[in-house]
Amino acid sequence: MSELDLANAPADVRPLPPARPPFSLSKLWRNTGVRRLVILAALAAIWQGAALWQDNPLLFPTFTDTVSAFVEATRSEGMLWSALASLTVLLKGYAIAVALALVLVSGAVAIPVLRDVLQTLTAMFNPLPAIALLPLAMMWLGLGESALLLVLVHAVLWPFALAALSGFDQVPETQRLVGRNYGLRGPAYVAQILLPAALPSILSGLKIGWAFAWRTLIAAELVFGVSSSQGGLGWFIYRNRNELLTDRVFAGLATVILIGLVVEMVLFRVIERRTVVRWGLQR
C-alpha cells in the first residue's frame, strides 16, 4: 500500500556530528551531568576557600569538615536512619494526600457542586503555609506522627488537587468521547481515560507536592522529632545545632538537599521519560 505520508522518522534524529577524537574535552562538556559536576566542584572549592578565610569552624565549617562530619554522622549517629524516618513519614502523608486529592478531584469532575467546593477550598488553603498549621496540629494531636501527617497532607493536598483538576479539565474532548463510546463510566472512565490523559499535569502536581512536603516536614521536625525513638532529619539538625556541632548541621542540610535532588532529578525524571515524554505529551 503506497503511503505518501510515512514521515515516520523520529523528529530527534539529527545528522551525526563529524568524527572526533574519543576523549575530547568539548564533547565531555556537552554532557549535562559532567557540566553539573564541574559546577558543583567549583561551588565546593569556593565554599572551602571562604570557610578557610573566615576561619570560624563554629559558625562556618569547611567543605572537607562537612564531608567528614557527614561520614561520621552516618556511621555513628545514624543520620541516614534519621533521613529514613523522615522519608517514611513523608511517604505516608504524601500517599494519604494524593489519594484524598484524587477522590476529591474525581468527585469535582463528576458533580458540579463538588467542583465549586474544591475550588473554594483550594483557593482558601493554598496560600496558607503548611507549617503555620503546626501549632494547631500539635494542640489537636499532640507531639507525634499524626500532627506531622496533618501538616504534610495539608502541604500536598491543595496544590496537587489544583494541578490534577486542571489536568482533568484539559483532557481533549475527543478522548473523552472515545472513552464514553466504549461504554466506560465512573471509576473505570477516570482510571482508563482521564488519569492517563491528565498525566502531564498530575506529574507536575506530584512534583510540586513533593517539594512542598519535603520542606514542610524538615521545618516541622525542627520543632519536634518524628517520634520518641527515632527523630527525623530536621530533628537531627536541631539537636546538633544545640550542641554547636555546626559541621553536622551542615551535613544534615546537605542530606536534605541530596534527597530532594535525587527524587526530583532521578525519580521524577525517569517516570517522565517512561510516560509523558515517550507518549509525546511533553518534550
Partner 1 sequence: MAAPALRLEPAPPVLEARRLTLDYATDRGPVRAVEAVDLSVDAGERLVLLGPSGCGKSSILKALAGFLPATSGTILVRGRPVSGPGPDRIVVFQEFDQLLPWKTVRDNVAFPLRVARKVSRAEARDRAEAALARVGLTRALDAFPHALSGGMKQRAAIARALATEPDVLLMDEPFAALDALTRRQLQEDLLALAEELRFTLVFVTHAIDEAVLIGTRLHLLSPHPGRTLAMRDTAHLGLAEVGSAAFEELTREVHTLLFGSTRGHV
164 binds partner 1 (CB under 8 A): no
User: Angle at CA 125, nearest 5°, toward 121 and 129?
Assistant: 170
105 binds partner 1 (CB under 8 A): no
Q: Is 114 within 8 Å of 108 (Cβ atoms)? A: yes
Closest approach, Cβ 248 to partner 1, in A, equals 46
Among the listed residues 104, 148, 193, 213, the single contact to partner 1 using CB under 8 A:
193
136 binds partner 1 (CB under 8 A): no
178 binds partner 1 (CB under 8 A): yes
Residue 14 has, within 13 A of its CA and on its CB side, a CA count of: 3
| Alpha carbon distance 76, 64 (integer Å) | 18
227 binds partner 1 (CB under 8 A): no
Closest approach, Cβ 189 to partner 1, in A, equals 10
Per-residue contact string for residues 2-21; x = within reach of partner 1 by CB under 8 A: xxxxxxx-x-----------
Distances (CA, A) of 272 to 101, 144, 163, 205, 261: 21, 35, 16, 13, 15
110 binds partner 1 (CB under 8 A): no
Footprint on this chain of partner 1 (rule: CB under 8 A):
1-8, 10, 172, 174-175, 177-178, 180-184, 188, 192-193, 196-197, 199, 275, 278-281
